[in-house]
Amino acid sequence: MVKTDFGPPKYLDMMSDLCKRNYGKWKYHEVLDTGTLVHVAENGEKLYTVRSATPRLMHIDTLRAFCDLADKYCNGFFRFTSRHSIEFLLEDESNIEPLKADLHAMGYSPGGVGNTISNMLHTQGWIHCHTPAIDASGIVKAVMDGVFDYYTEAKLPARLRLSLACCLNMCGAVHCSDVAIVGIHRVPPKVLDEKVAKMCEIPNVVAACPTRAIRPEPSKKSVVINDEKCMYCGNCYTMCPAIPIFDPKNDGAAIFVGGKVSDARHPAMFSKLAVPYIPNEPPKWPTVVQTVRMLIDVYAKDAKQGERYGEWINRIGWERFFKVTGLPFTDKHIDDYIFSIPTFRSTATFKW
Amino acid sequence: MPELRKTPMLDQLLDGPFPSFVKEIKKGAEKNEACNDLLGQLELSYEEKITHWKHGGIVGVTGYGGGVIGRYSDVPEQFPGLTEFHTMRINQPAGWFYKTDRLRKLLDIWEKRGSGLTNFHGATGDIILLGTHTNELQNVADDLAHEGWDLGGSGSDLRTPSACVGPGRCEWACIDTLDIVDTLTRRYQNELHRPMWPYKFKIKISGCANDGVAAKARADCSIIGTWKDNIQVNRTEVVNYVNGGFDIIGQVVDKCPTKCISYNPVTKSLSIDDNNCVRCHNCINKMPKALRQGKINGATILIGGHAPILQSAFMSWVVVPFMEMKPPYTEISDLLEKIWEWWDENGKMRERTGELIYRLGMRSFLKATGLPAVPQMVLHPRANPFFFWDKEEVNQ
């Protein structure tokens, strides 16, 4: 029997001597370019970071190639960020350009530092998840290709976080991102009575519904769904596989904007609805890509230096946001879920 | 080895400047039949616009209830390599630092025992190993354990805690995020590996208000570094920024949320009314050479964050405005254990901690944890007269 419950590898065993020497003694950092940072320690030592986005889903041979680069340029040390980027940690400044050249040769471009789009945080999608309404990696690939210049060139007013969640479980801070793509369903799930009777615990299925749209149907040992009340969250399906909610004709993506997690200047904000629905358009998802591109272009042109996406909207107002983006405002944009009333306007001081 | 699956739709995602995940799966497909079938199944999903992964299925390794997620294809007759294709979550080193010799051993094991596909990293923070057979799960866990890699959390347990880069490479870490996450993860191995709660519980730790791991949005317990005393000003560097053309009025003074910073262009000096500072961190972000956080450091503890289901999305809210975060971190552990006990006692199945607080009220939470009510917990006091009194508070 091998050992269990011993925890992760100790982080200090994964750090270079320079990092360990200057642990907690960093003085300041500077952005050298959109792919490179330098951190300066109190004793004057410098650590250079070259950052590159990855597709998150990687084969071990790609990771081995990263290991080779780290051995060649970084004494065998690197790290990842919370947004699936790889960061090479260099002590020798002269290694930066050769490393970047090798990365480019691998098909990886350094970027995502400073006032850029950092790598797109995302979920599993059709590759490996049982609840997605949309794919994840494919949309991310198409969107990142479509906004790649904003990743490699610092031409945004502030940094911009793009995220994607393939269903309403919203793994990955999508609900607090500058521009977020979320997979949604638009029709109630189907109840497969015979399977429900065999596979599911009825009380748990009933309790899983946020809008109380599900009630027991004892004669069938199953449940019935009140379609009027269902808002297609899929939570019942998570509890009970016999209530599938997928619908190729109706599933798709919604886009939310203006969220952030940093408290700088303005407290952290939730993302808010910009586009209620875009149909699934594999493999290149052109409408999603064009919409995200437009949303970023308008912000890049109109926001003041230092304003995050949501701060820009707060300044110009949502009525103006819909005007400058040309997006239609619909009844879907008016909240009718749990905390709706505080989001209604109760002043006549709005803009035309 | 059969020939590679034809994937005309996915092939359209091979070109373009962003690295392609399709290329990654194809790398695997050349040596692994399951990866080849994954290409085929994903192409089918692209044609049909629907997932082909079956829901559920309990699998695991001896002694653990979490860390492995069962995954089965719903079209196994078409893609036999995906009949079983389970996910394993591996507990990542704090801050996602890696040394290549250690990581290579993990990769070798995954080549021998799995599909060779990975996520670096999943949204919770773990290393994700993507796809292996039921009969290999124990072998993977054993081989990994031999090399010092342990499983992470899944299901209704403590999910693998994660932290920002912290003092490993950042001057803004007010707390030792890496030591805290490492200590808490080791302390709560039982809670991490054995699902025993109403639902999942996440801990994320950020060293400053920039919240590099999105702790406020993503964690039931968010630990955010902060300070109590005054921002340290390096006057020479302030002048250097201004002389270098930095827009100190536009980027710092005007952007200060409490207007506690003023700049005198004649003397080129910056003054801060620290009593009115809310430590939002913008000025420090903009002038890292000139401004540093205070010296009395600790963390604000926030509770309750989660995504929308069931009760709409919550960002974590303040329950302890300032906690000293010194090893062995007993104060945060005491609080966590009180919260878990109360939640375990009162929570319904699949009710997150924040949802329970919402249902039973902050009053109940404060009573259970013994935390005092303080103004920092609210944006403003309530605007209605419908408050509860306990029996011991009124004349009997």
pLDDT tens digits, B259-286: 999 999 999 999 999 999 999 999 999 9
- Are B25 and A59 within 8 A, CB to CB? yes
Distance CA A220, CA A197 (A): 7
Q: Around A301, how many Cα atoms within 13 Å sit in the side-chain half-sphere?
A: 9
* Residues A240 and A214 sit within 8 Å (Cβ to Cβ): no
Residue whose structure tokens are 């996406």 = A309
List Cβ neighbours of B379 (8 Å cut-off, separation of 6 or more).
none
* Residues A278 and A252 sit within 8 Å (Cβ to Cβ): yes
* pLDDT of A323: 98
Q: Kind and range of the H or E element at A106? A: helix A96-106
- Are B21 and A173 within 8 A, CB to CB? no
pLDDT at B56 over 90: no
- Are B42 and A126 within 8 A, CB to CB? yes
| Strand ranges inside B145-214, DSSP E | 162-163, 203-206
* pLDDT of A158: 97
Q: ipTM of the predicted structure? A: 0.96
From B13, B46, B281, residue closest to A141, measured CB to CB:
B13
Mutate to test the interface with B, among A1, A26, A59, A150 (most CBs of B within 10 A): A59
Distance CA B252, CA A205 (A): 52
pLDDT at A277 over 90: yes
pLDDT category of residue B57 using cuts at 50, 70 and 90: confident
- Are B99 and A13 within 8 A, CB to CB? yes
For chain B, positions 171-230, list CB contacts with chain A under 8 A. 171, 173, 176, 178, 182, 185-186, 189-190, 193, 209-218
For chain A, positions 150-179, list CB contacts with chain B under 8 A. 151, 165, 168-176
From B95, B169, B215, residue closest to A26, measured CB to CB:
B169
* pLDDT of B131: 96
Give A88-106 pLDDT, tens digit per residue.
999 999 999 999 999 999 9
In Å, how far is A113's CA from the nearest CA of chain B? 13
CA A314 to chain centre: 22
Distance CA B282, CA B56 (A): 45
- Are B209 and A67 within 8 A, CB to CB? no
Quick one: CA torsion of A16, A18, A20, A22, rounded to 10 degrees?
-150
Sign of the CA dihedral running A55, A56, A57, A63: positive
From A24, A80, A129, residue closest to B51, measured CB to CB:
A129
- Does B254 lie at the interface with A, CB-CB under 8 angstroms? no
* pLDDT of B281: 97
Supply φ then ψ for residue B243, to 5 degrees. -65, -25
Q: Around B94, how many Cα atoms within 13 Å sit in the side-chain half-sphere?
A: 27
pLDDT at A200 over 80: yes
In Å, how far is B196's CA from the nearest CA of chain A? 16
Distance CA B278, CA B268 (A): 24
pLDDT at A342 over 70: yes
- Are B148 and A169 within 8 A, CB to CB? no
In Å, how far is A287's CA from the nearest CA of chain B? 16
Q: What is the average pLDDT score of chain B?
A: 96
Distance CA A79, CA A51 (A): 9
Q: Around B225, how many Cα atoms within 13 Å sit in the side-chain half-sphere?
A: 31
In Å, how far is A272's CA from the nearest CA of chain B? 12
- Are A86 and B120 within 8 A, CB to CB? yes
* Residues B222 and B206 sit within 8 Å (Cβ to Cβ): yes
Sign of the CA dihedral running A330, A331, A335, A341: positive
pLDDT at A235 over 80: yes
* Residues A159 and A308 sit within 8 Å (Cβ to Cβ): yes
Distance CA B353, CA B378 (A): 18
pLDDT at A173 over 70: yes
* pLDDT of B134: 96
- Does A34 lie at the interface with B, CB-CB under 8 angstroms? no
pLDDT category of residue B8 using cuts at 50, 70 and 90: very high
Amino acid in the structure at residue B300: T
Residue whose structure tokens are 């997620």 = B69
Averaged pLDDT, B363-370:
96
CA B6 to chain centre: 38
For chain B, positions 35-64, list CB contacts with chain A under 8 A. 35, 38, 42, 45-46, 48-56, 62-64
H helices of B114-196, in order, are 134-146, 177-187, 189-193
For residue A181, what are the CA distances in angstroms to A177, B122, B217?
9, 17, 16
Amino acid in the structure at residue B363: R
Contacts of A185 in chain B (CB under 8 A): none
Q: Closest-CA residue in chain A for B312?
A: A338
pLDDT at B86 over 90: yes
H helices of B219-265, in order, are 235-243, 248
* Residues A61 and A98 sit within 8 Å (Cβ to Cβ): no
Give B203-257 pLDDT, tens digit per residue.
999 999 999 999 999 999 999 999 999 999 999 999 999 999 999 999 999 999 9
For chain A, positions 307-336, list CB contacts with chain B under 8 A. none
* pLDDT of B1: 62
* pLDDT of A2: 82
Nearest to B182 by CA among A35, A96, A238, A12: A12
* Residues B323 and B333 sit within 8 Å (Cβ to Cβ): no
- Are B10 and A283 within 8 A, CB to CB? yes
pLDDT category of residue B299 using cuts at 50, 70 and 90: very high
Averaged pLDDT, B44-54:
97
CA B87 to chain centre: 19
From B95, B171, B307, residue closest to A170, measured CB to CB:
B307
In Å, how far is B336's CA from the nearest CA of chain A? 19
Averaged pLDDT, A248-253:
97
Q: Around B68, how many Cα atoms within 13 Å sit in the side-chain half-sphere?
A: 25
Distance CA A281, CA A278 (A): 8
Maximum CA extent, chain A = 76
List Cβ neighbours of B129 (8 Å cut-off, separation of 6 or more).
B87, B88, B89, B90, B110, B114, B117, B118, B140
Distance CA B48, CA A110 (A): 35
Share of chain A above pLDDT 90, in %: 96
Give A121-157 pLDDT, tens digit per residue.
999 999 999 889 999 999 999 999 999 999 999 999 9
* pLDDT of A332: 97
Amino acid in the structure at residue B389: W
Nearest to A127 by CA among B390, B267, B13: B13
Averaged pLDDT, B120-127:
94
Mutate to test the interface with B, among A262, A269, A338 (most CBs of B within 10 A): A262
- Are B99 and A76 within 8 A, CB to CB? yes
Provide the token pair at A143. Answer: 């969107």
Q: A269 has which bridge partners?
A: A260
Nearest to A83 by CA among A51, A107, A37: A51
In Å, how far is B35's CA from the nearest CA of chain A? 10
